[in-house]
A = this chain, B = another copy of it.
Amino acid sequence: MGTRVGIILLSGTLDKAMPAFMLGTTAAAMGMEVGIFFSFYGLTVIHKEKLKNLKVSPIGNPAMPMPVPVPQILTVMPGMMDFATNMMKKMMKQHKIPSIEELVQQAIDLDVKLYPCQTAMQLFGFKKEDLIEGVEEPVGAATFLNFVNKADKPIVLNF
């Protein structure tokens, strides 16, 4: 059963969710079977309300390009995270990179399986109806590992 790509998304920030979905949709478009397992904070990426408000974190990221050099002390100031998020979204729009909402929809259209982690659902008190349309039933880590392990060539990435 060829190559299967399993992606584990543990982070709820745009700077992790974007590359996870860009790699996932690319692999799916190349004909690989792809499944994404959303656990811990990653669950927010398939949460109806929270998906719209994902943010970039400028804190502790000295490599982040800023219009002017910003001392690290400023990166924790109120408003800085929104500023960095807006700047990043604007840069991505200018370069015609799809938004995270568009990437999630592309993934569903390409038949990428989106698996919510059962344990994390309980931990955060999320219900199935809190999640976006098109995701699978919540599963445990064993189901995800089994999905990946059925392939001749399993590739696993975690963000």
Complex Cα spacing A159 to B64, Å: 16
Cβ-defined contact, B77 with A154, below 8 A? no
Complex Cα spacing A12 to B63, Å: 5
- Known contacts A64-B41, A119-B97; A32 and B149 CB within 8 A of each other: yes
A66-97 contact mask (Cβ, 8 Å, vs B): 1 or 0:
00000111011110110000000001100101
Question: Could you say which interface size class chain A belongs to?
Answer: 35 or more
A120-152 contact mask (Cβ, 8 Å, vs B): 1 or 0:
001110000000000000001110011011011
Q: Kindly name the residue among A61, A62, A153 whose own CB sees the greatest number of chain B CB atoms within 10 A.
A: A62
The DSSP consensus for interface residues of chain A is: mixed
Query: Smallest CB–CB gap between A102 and chain B, Å?
Result: 15
Cβ-defined contact, A40 with B19, below 8 A? yes
Cβ-defined contact, A57 with B60, below 8 A? yes
Interface on A for B, CB 8 Å cutoff?
3, 5, 8, 10-13, 15, 19, 22-23, 26-27, 29-30, 32, 39-41, 44, 50, 54-55, 57-65, 71-73, 75-78, 80-81, 91-92, 95, 97, 119, 122-124, 140-142, 145-146, 148-149, 151-159
